[in-house]
Amino acid sequence: MAVARLRFLERNEEELIDQQSIECLETIGVKIKSETVLKMLDRAGARADSRTQVAKIPEGMVKDALKTVPKEMTLHGRDPKHNMRIPVSSWPYVGTTGLGTYIIDIKTGKKRDSTVKDIADCVKVADALDGVDYVQTSLTATEVLQATHGLHELWTAFQNTTKHVQGIEILNAEDARKQVELGALIAGGLEELRKKPSFTVIHCSIAPLMFERDAVEAMVEFARAGVPVTTMSMSLSGGTAPVTLAGTLVNANSENLASLVIGQVAGKDARTIYCSSSTPVNMKTGMINYESANQPLIAAGLAQMAKRYGLPCMVGDWGLNDSEEPGVPHTFSETLGIALSTMSGTDMQGGIGTLDNAKGVALEQEVIDAYIWENVRRQMTPFEITKGTAALDVIRQVGHGNSFLSNIHTARNFKKEIILRDPAKGRFEATMSKSMVPEAREIALRILREHHVPELDRSILQQGNAIIKEREREVLMHK
């Protein structure tokens, strides 16, 4: 099938990134601040130094991991109609943003700290929008015990969507085990969770080339439980990675390969999603710079590397707003850059609803991003390129200088072959504009009033609440 794709690297450049990444892992290695994970890798064939906490990973370990890691998977929702099979055959699945700390109140328009209720509202709006395929937990539950806020966020998301859930916040290995218990309640048991994962998690290495103890030990728990781990590298050109684009690709690729090895050593056949949210830093402020023209090109390069290895991937972001207010504040070229990252070959992207470099969320922005995505993704409609669709017999039949308009072939095929954008949603696409915000606000408010998400069974709800309360008691006892 023909699908619009952005190809960035030549084949020899792919080879170079791969070779340099292998050399990086073999000679520089990765720092792993967990004695148990370091020993696990040492037993599997890495050269681990307990004094420096550095594990040097030979090429053979990487190749073995690439042989055993699943190349295809289905990410399940409560409603099977929302199941997501990856890799994709057309446009990527797009989800909401990650873990903002504030929300723009939809009634007052004021910025405030986010709560469990706000997470429920964000997830419910996303559940109703056709342009959202899965939900991340989106916001931080600031009013709960902070050692358990990730559990609250995951459990709140499960209750307010029938789509697949992607968790963001993982405190440590014990927190991971509790999240697995919550996911098992949704899936129907631990074995069902392994067969039909009801959630995925994002695990971030600390660029360059380091894994914190709590995070990497949690990653091992998820790998062993069969929960897909999205191994996000946040390599920032000029900050936590070389300033050159090639150096950023090598750093991010090396971190992904190291994560892959850790997952496969922890549990052979553990599901891994190659992932990056890498950009340059802003050289004036030192902050992350999602609006650089480099960002979609980094995404394109890393998507190519993931496909080279046969891995499903989540690179780039579909987020149209880095300001503090809802709208589309960018020029055509900036917005085009965001769109190009979706054509990189990625299978998943997040970012819907985000504000202020992922620090905030607005329900209006969820609607705007989802509506625009519905139009943009049509440009990645798959087309069949065969002798039959080439229609040489029809060309012969119509002949020289005549029209195909009245031919039966046109009548039979034009509806599936000619892709039209939705003009109503096109009103949301005005760049450097806030004109669509009032309409988006009304749509979000209507969803909150009218959209119904099927409730969890009461016994499951009680068990989930009990898991969180038990964890809160454990945390308080150890304070």
Is residue 308 assigned to a domain? yes
The pLDDT of 56-66, averaged and rounded, is 98
**Whether pLDDT at 188 is above 80:** yes
Amino acid in position 152 = H
**Whether pLDDT at 346 is above 90:** yes
Q: How confident is the model at residue 349 (pLDDT cuts 50, 70, 90)?
A: very high
Cis peptide before 382 (omega within 30 of 0): no
* pLDDT at residue 478, as a whole number: 81
105 lies in the same domain as 245:
yes
**Residue 204 and residue 138: Cα distance in Å, rounded?**
16
Is residue 195 assigned to a domain? yes
365 lies in the same domain as 407:
no
**Residue 32 and residue 35: Cα distance in Å, rounded?**
8
**Whether pLDDT at 66 is above 90:** yes
Q: How confident is the model at residue 357 (pLDDT cuts 50, 70, 90)?
A: confident
Is residue 468 assigned to a domain? no
Give the chain's end-to-end CA distance (angstroms, integer): 57
17 lies in the same domain as 113:
no
123 lies in the same domain as 202:
yes
Q: How confident is the model at residue 339 (pLDDT cuts 50, 70, 90)?
A: confident
Amino acid in position 468 = I
For residue 455, the tally of other CB atoms under 10 A from its CB is: 10
Sequence-distant (≥ 6) Cβ neighbours of residue 422 within 8 angstroms: 374, 375
30 lies in the same domain as 61:
yes
Is residue 439 assigned to a domain? no
* pLDDT at residue 150, as a whole number: 96
Contact criterion met (CB below 8 Å) for 364 and 126 = no
Among 364, 399, 417, the domain-final residue is 417
16 lies in the same domain as 125:
no
**Whether pLDDT at 111 is above 80:** yes
**Whether pLDDT at 371 is above 80:** yes
174 lies in the same domain as 204:
yes
Q: Domain range for residue 55?
A: 11-66
* pLDDT at residue 137, as a whole number: 95
143 lies in the same domain as 186:
yes
DSSP three-state, residue 114: coil
**Whether pLDDT at 71 is above 90:** yes
**pLDDT tens sequence across 273-318:** 999 999 998 888 887 877 788 988 999 999 999 999 999 999 988 8
* pLDDT at residue 241, as a whole number: 94
**Residue 161 and residue 125: Cα distance in Å, rounded?**
9
**pLDDT tens sequence across 33-57:** 999 999 999 999 999 999 999 999 9
Is residue 462 assigned to a domain? no
